[in-house]
Amino acid sequence: MRILHTSDWHLGRSFHGASLMREQQEVVDRLVDLAAEAKVDLVVIAGDLYDRAIPPADAVRLFDDALVRMRATGAKIVAIAGNHDSPSRVAVADRVLEQAGVTIRGDVSRCLQPVQIDADDNGPPVLVWPVPYLEPSLAGQVLNELGAMSSEASDATDPETEAAETTDRERTRRASHHDVTAHATALIRRHATAAGAIRTVVVAHTFVDRGKTTDSERDLSIGNIERVGLDVFEGFDYVALGHLHRDQAFDNGRIAYSGSPLAYSFSEEDQTKSVRIVEMDAAGRCSTEIVPLGVGLPLRTLCGRLADLLRDPAFDDAEQARVRFQLTDTELPLQAMKRLQARFRHAVTLEHHPEGRMSPDSQDVVGAVENSESPLDLIRRFWADQHGADASDAQEEVLASALAAAVAGNET
């Protein structure tokens, strides 16, 4: 039984204003080829299918094309809504698509309805539980209702599930992401136990404890949402996670993030983007091959003086990369970005870090304001911070004149 685990496609996303659609098409092409070459039984897409709740039309068309081509390889597909997706929009045809081997789960009320994969490996069936992103303020009540229905249908109540339900009821107004995820997985464990001899896979979009972040993920720590403990995924054969854009795994690879297929921030500059191909044996034991995708423009951060960046052959390899510049010239040169783009056509951002100048500490700035004897003292400090040197006598005379004119203007 082979599973291709990918996530966080963010179709429709741009990079500092530059469209990524061409590179995202390359991602889809590569994944389709991998699914066919590896003869996978199941493709898992663990959330953030799109970059925003109402995606652009070309992103929707690309996702549709991806589903058709992946399904044509013979693999079934299970996808879930992430925190960037609109659950109702991405899952609008879920019940119809399931009949064709494609599951796109956005409705939390269906998270206890597994997808069954009958692999030709002499092992028991694989049951896949797709758990879409659980917004604590919305998911808690739904899970309570599912728990109540599950209890009525069961001869005995699982103490773990009962405790999770009680905790959720007690925290209706302050439920955390950990709470609702623990509640959902406890209910899934009850169903898995009742199903008998099976292999189990859970697909979820969440931020687990010990996970390493990048700058391109949307923060889930607003209000009372927090990290999810790894222990909530105990007992499952494989847990395919989405949300974090760095490839990483826990518990000997049993719980894993595939990471995003493209870099979406310069904090991912040194990462090799990949997917996971998971081989599950008849007993549910998993081994994983991490497959680099090798698509998309590389990212580079170049630091130096403008003249050197424009001429030095050491930077030739960055001419076909998306580049962030950190200029160290004492003064920011005129039209610096335009001149850099003449050599580096994918240049996207420019920062000014004058050589020898320290960035002011916030406490230093507060102290300077509190201890200044006059507005002119503050202007002198600001000038020194911006230019890396004190104003000359002539420059200070201009600053003093500007201050006097501003004060006079406020008094009239």
pLDDT score recorded for residue 159: 46
Measure CA of the first residue to CA of the last residue in the chain; give whole Å: 81
Q: Strand order of the sheet with strand 322-327? A: 299-304, 322-327, 347-352
pLDDT score recorded for residue 156: 43
**Does residue 372 carry a pLDDT above 60?**
no
**Does residue 349 carry a pLDDT above 80?**
yes
The answer to whether the beta carbons of residues 339 and 310 sit under 8 Å apart is yes
Average pLDDT score over residue span 366-387: 70
Cα(49)–Cα(42) distance, rounded to whole angstroms?
A: 17
Task: Give the least confident one: 35-39, 274-278, 375-379.
Answer: 375-379
Confidence of residue 104 (pLDDT cuts 50, 70, 90): very high
111 token code pair: 């998270």
Task: Give the least confident one: 216-225, 296-305, 370-379.
Answer: 216-225
Question: Residue ranges of the domains in the chain?
Answer: 2-292, 299-352, 362-411
pLDDT digit string, tens, across residues 130-155: 999 998 888 878 888 887 765 554 54
> How many helical (H) and strand (E) elements, i.e. helices and strands, does the chain have?
12, 17
Cα(205)–Cα(8) distance, rounded to whole angstroms?
A: 9
**Does residue 355 carry a pLDDT above 50?**
yes
Whole-model pTM: value is 0.82
How far is Cα of residue 118 from the mean position of the Cα atoms in its chain? 31
How many other CB atoms are there within 10 angstroms of residue 91's CB atom?
22
pLDDT digit string, tens, across residues 69-83: 999 999 999 999 999
Q: At what angle do helices 57-72 and 21-37 cross, to 10 degrees?
A: 10
* Phi and psi, residue 192, nearest 5°: -65, -40
Q: Which residues contact 348 (CB under 8 A, 6 or more apart)?
A: 15, 16, 17, 18, 322, 323, 324
pLDDT score recorded for residue 201: 98
pLDDT digit string, tens, across residues 9-29: 999 999 999 999 999 999 999
Cα(210)–Cα(241) distance, rounded to whole angstroms?
A: 13
What value does the mean pLDDT of the chain take?
Answer: 88
CATH code, residues 2-292: 3.60.21.10
Amino acid sitting at position 239:
V
pLDDT score recorded for residue 410: 66
